[in-house]
Chain A
Amino acid sequence: MKPIDLRVEGIRQGAIEVARNRLIFVMALFSLGFLTLIVKLVSVGVFQADGSAYYHTDNVNTSLLMARADIVDRNGVILATNLKTPSLAVVPAKLKTSPEELAPRVAAIFPDMSEEKAFKLLSTTRPHTWIKRTLTPKQVFEIKKIGDPGLVTSDAEKRIYPQGRLLSHILGSVDIDNKPSSGVEAYFNDQLIDPSKSESPLALSIDIRLQYILNQELATYKEMFSAIGAAGIILDVTTGEVLALSSLPDFDPNDTSGPQNVNEMNRVLQGDYELGSGFKTFTLASALDNKVVSLADRYDATKPVRVANFTIHDDHPKSRWLNVPEIFVYSSNIGTLKIAQDIGVERQIAFFDKLGLFTKSDIEVYEKSTPLLPRQWGPTELATTAYGHGIAVTPLHLASGVAAMVNGGRLIPATLLRKNNDIAQSVSQDLGTQVISPATSEIMRNLLHLVVEYGTGKNAKVDGYLVGGKTGTAIKAVNGGYNDKAVISSLVSVFPIDKPKYLVFAMLDEPKGIKETYNLITAGMTVAPMVGNIIKRVGPLMGVMPRKEDEMYFKDLMLISGTDE
């Protein structure tokens, strides 16, 4: 079959041409549109491949959001945690049963709630009243069994301190609405309530085992000597980490009311005390570092000295000339003040300032006090501060200072946060300011060792460990005067003294004499045995190896002046 060639001519031809052209135009438009689509499709699919299209974005949250993050000790033991605890409330508008009928059934569930009290709570006029907070799962079940829509259980978060009173002064506490009132809880509040850090606990430098040992020994000796208070601290002298910090009396942080009276303050950080002979460590280190005295120098301690209007005695009088190690070992006030007089006021002030004794410590709590300093620095103040009177600092100041005396001369600010072990190695090298030379620090270590071996700290001796320390028995200032019967007995000790690692400070506030100590209340009789006990228990726990032999320096030097002991 042959195709027929149709041809329209004339006026019709023009009309067909127009229609065709229009068609082609529309076709071209459509083609262009589709072409753009194809180009876009290819470019998206091939050139701009979007990887995220293959993954479904995570919109379901599996992280447990708590109002406050946990606090753990250096080994990860939980010290504070938030738990969801159900609470029971009553909404009277929704009650289906009368309060008279409901009261006995509700009271039966809670053993500590009387029927009258339950009735009073249930017949409230307020729209929403709490009946009981922190229910056990069984109690929730029993409430649900009653089945009244007016009894509403809802989850609230409660801060739990599993260790009880053990860390009350460090952690502080929170109130019923989880608002912190003191301690680390208050200092790190912003970090603890940060939702993005909800699952990363705050790791403290505290070791719960050491904390327990310290707390227990303090409690035992506080009871034994009927002291009004006791305080102690264990410090890592190489890093400045506080391993244990305890102050008695303490409070239960689970009880939301917090510390009740001034006696429950944190004595280690808030208590300003004239700490007595512990300060002789600083005076002597300053003298040795400034090359004012040498170890063989001798001072006249035959009779009490008058400075301004005061007569200064020795507590353990030897009534003879003493050389420098003897002054320290027998804790001679007279010798020390004479050394201080040789140092001079300016250098003494500069040294105390360098040790941070004039300012608040940097430790991470808000409750810490500024040292009480003498109003002016005259000859009297120079003499008294030399042996720790007339200047009141917190025990932490003394502990940090003594740590610097023994660790090679570096003053490392005490911290409550765990330092990463790997970092701590490098950090401890450059962190901290050099306050005395390593050589002076070496001498101080040996002098402290002598005190425990032969001097006032004999009772702190522990078989197998090399312990160094300095006792301090300071008469308490009461109402502007001094009262002989009220003393602060303290001992700051370091072990192992040949390679210092741990510093143990313990203090008893107003110990009373007992028969076993011949009614003596000096630190050597009251606190020294306690520190000995603490070291005996802490040493093996922290892997400090006992030593067989004690190496003693300057022992011969001490005998130069012919001691009659």
Chain B
Amino acid sequence: MIKVFAAFAILTVMISTASVYNLKQATYDLEEKKRDISAQILKDREAIKVLKAEMAYLSRPERLERLGRRHLALESTDTEQIAADITELTVRDNVQLVKMPVDNFQLLLPRQKPSTIVAVNNPQTRNITSLPKVEKSATQKAENRKLEQRQQESRQQSLYDRILAKLGN
């Protein structure tokens, strides 16, 4: 009984010693890697600093003007060329202005090409977007449908992937 217990204890000691050594070595390796990366970061930061200074030097207003004069067929704008709003440009007197901040536009997302739009849900916009219906052969339609399906699949795939990636993190 005692022998079994002793053997077990010795084994445990050996295993734990080995694992502690292993862990220590791994930590040491990681730290070395970290030091390397830190040194690299420092070096890169230094390089970035130099590049930023160079950027500032190369984009001096004086130099930009000189280059602009040499390479661009542009003159400086006159105040006549600037209009505060549309009312200054038109002779019509019933111009209504829509106050909308420039940055309030919807995010531009990839969309289907106009020719593949089947129906527009909004009745208001339907009146406006009266796209000419193009006659298509049956094979073309089938091809289009396939393409659409594939696109939809790929979109779902990518979304699924993204969720997975998020969960993984």
Which A residues lie at the B interface, using CB under 8 A? 56, 60-62, 64, 66, 77-79, 81, 83-84, 160, 162-164, 166, 208-209, 212, 216, 462-465, 536-537, 539-540, 545-548
6 new A-B pairs (CB below 8 Å) besides A56-B31, A164-B62, A166-B62? Answer: A61-B42, A78-B55, A160-B53, A464-B79, A539-B79, A545-B82
Which B residues lie at the A interface, using CB under 8 A? 31, 34-35, 38, 41-42, 45-46, 49-50, 52-57, 59-62, 76-80, 82-84, 88
Q: How far is the CA of A166 from the CA of B88 in the complex (A)?
A: 38
18 A-B contacts (beta carbon < 8 Å) = A56-B31, A66-B49, A78-B52, A83-B49, A83-B50, A84-B46, A162-B56, A162-B60, A163-B60, A166-B62, A212-B62, A462-B79, A463-B80, A536-B78, A540-B82, A545-B82, A546-B79, A546-B82
Q: How far is the CA of A81 from the CA of B48 in the complex (A)?
A: 12
Q: How far is the CA of A61 from the CA of B45 in the complex (A)?
A: 12
Contacting pair A208 B79 (CB below 8 A): no
Q: How far is the CA of A56 from the CA of B34 in the complex (A)?
A: 12
Q: How far is the CA of A84 from the CA of B53 in the complex (A)?
A: 12
Q: How far is the CA of A162 from the CA of B55 in the complex (A)?
A: 9
**10 closest A-B pairs (Cβ-Cβ)?**
A212-B61, A464-B79, A545-B84, A162-B56, A162-B57, A78-B56, A60-B38, A64-B45, A62-B41, A546-B79
Contacts of A209 in B (CB 8 A): 61
Q: Which of B49, B55, B82 contacts A64 (CB 8 A)?
A: B49
Q: How far is the CA of A62 from the CA of B37 in the complex (A)?
A: 9
Contacting pair B82 A60 (CB below 8 A): no
Q: How far is the CB of A283 from chain B (nearest CB, A)?
A: 33
Contacting pair A208 B61 (CB below 8 A): yes
Q: Which of B34, B53, B78, B83 contacts A81 (CB 8 A)?
A: B53
Contacts of B60 in A (CB 8 A): 162-164, 166
Contacting pair B42 A465 (CB below 8 A): no
A547/B82 contact (C-beta < 8 A), A81-B53, A84-B46 known: no
Q: How far is the CB of A370 from chain B (nearest CB, A)?
A: 34
Q: How far is the CA of A463 from the CA of B77 in the complex (A)?
A: 12
Q: How far is the CA of A81 from the CA of B54 in the complex (A)?
A: 11
Contacting pair B76 A537 (CB below 8 A): yes
Contacting pair A81 B79 (CB below 8 A): no
Q: Which of A77, A463, A540 contacts B56 (CB 8 A)?
A: A77
Contacts of A61 in B (CB 8 A): 38, 42
> Which of A62, A465, A536, A537 is packed against the most chain B CB atoms within 10 Å?
A62
In the complex, residue of chain B having the shortest beta-carbon distance to the beta carbon of A165: B62
Contacts of B53 in A (CB 8 A): 78, 81, 83, 160, 162
Contacting pair B49 A81 (CB below 8 A): yes
Q: How far is the CA of A201 from the CA of B133 in the complex (A)?
A: 60
Q: How far is the CA of A83 from the CA of B47 in the complex (A)?
A: 9
Contacts of A537 in B (CB 8 A): 76
Contacts of A62 in B (CB 8 A): 38, 41-42, 45
Q: How far is the CB of A245 from chain B (nearest CB, A)?
A: 16
In the complex, residue of chain B having the shortest beta-carbon distance to the beta carbon of A60: B38
Q: How far is the CA of A57 from the CA of B150 in the complex (A)?
A: 51
In the complex, residue of chain B having the shortest beta-carbon distance to the beta carbon of A79: B56
Contacts of A83 in B (CB 8 A): 49-50, 53
Q: How far is the CA of A536 from the CA of B62 in the complex (A)?
A: 18
Contacting pair A547 B84 (CB below 8 A): yes
Contacts of B62 in A (CB 8 A): 164, 166, 212, 216
Q: How far is the CA of A547 from the CA of B88 in the complex (A)?
A: 10
Q: How far is the CB of B88 from chain A (nearest CB, A)?
A: 6
Q: How far is the CA of A454 from the CA of B61 in the complex (A)?
A: 35
In the complex, residue of chain B having the shortest beta-carbon distance to the beta carbon of A73: B56
In the complex, residue of chain A having the shortest beta-carbon distance to the beta carbon of B38: A60
In the complex, residue of chain B having the shortest beta-carbon distance to the beta carbon of A212: B61
Contacting pair B42 A64 (CB below 8 A): yes
In the complex, residue of chain B having the shortest beta-carbon distance to the beta carbon of A84: B46
Contacts of A78 in B (CB 8 A): 52-53, 55-56
Contacts of A536 in B (CB 8 A): 78-79
Q: How far is the CB of A272 from chain B (nearest CB, A)?
A: 31
> Which of B53, B56, B80, B84 is packed against the most chain A CB atoms within 10 Å?
B56
Contacts of A66 in B (CB 8 A): 49
Q: How far is the CB of B86 from chain A (nearest CB, A)?
A: 13
A81/B82 contact (C-beta < 8 A), A60-B34, A64-B45 known: no
Q: How far is the CB of B142 from chain A (nearest CB, A)?
A: 54
Contacts of B79 in A (CB 8 A): 462-465, 536, 539-540, 546
Q: How far is the CA of A208 from the CA of B45 in the complex (A)?
A: 25
Contacts of B49 in A (CB 8 A): 64, 66, 81, 83
Contacting pair B80 A464 (CB below 8 A): yes
Q: How far is the CA of A545 from the CA of B78 in the complex (A)?
A: 12
Q: How far is the CB of A69 from chain B (nearest CB, A)?
A: 12
Contacts of A56 in B (CB 8 A): 31
Q: How far is the CA of A462 from the CA of B57 in the complex (A)?
A: 33
Contacts of B46 in A (CB 8 A): 64, 84
In the complex, residue of chain A having the shortest beta-carbon distance to the beta carbon of B27: A56
Q: How far is the CB of B94 from chain A (nearest CB, A)?
A: 18
Q: How far is the CB of B105 from chain A (nearest CB, A)?
A: 19
Contacts of B54 in A (CB 8 A): 162
Contacts of A163 in B (CB 8 A): 56, 60
Q: How far is the CB of A67 from chain B (nearest CB, A)?
A: 13
Contacts of A465 in B (CB 8 A): 79
Contacts of B61 in A (CB 8 A): 166, 208-209, 212
Contacts of A77 in B (CB 8 A): 56, 59
Q: How far is the CB of B85 from chain A (nearest CB, A)?
A: 8
Q: How far is the CB of B14 from chain A (nearest CB, A)?
A: 22
Q: How far is the CA of A84 from the CA of B50 in the complex (A)?
A: 9
Q: How far is the CB of B161 from chain A (nearest CB, A)?
A: 31
In the complex, residue of chain A having the shortest beta-carbon distance to the beta carbon of B30: A56
In the complex, residue of chain B having the shortest beta-carbon distance to the beta carbon of A209: B61
In the complex, residue of chain A having the shortest beta-carbon distance to the beta carbon of B35: A60
Q: How far is the CA of A162 from the CA of B57 in the complex (A)?
A: 5
In the complex, residue of chain A having the shortest beta-carbon distance to the beta carbon of B87: A548
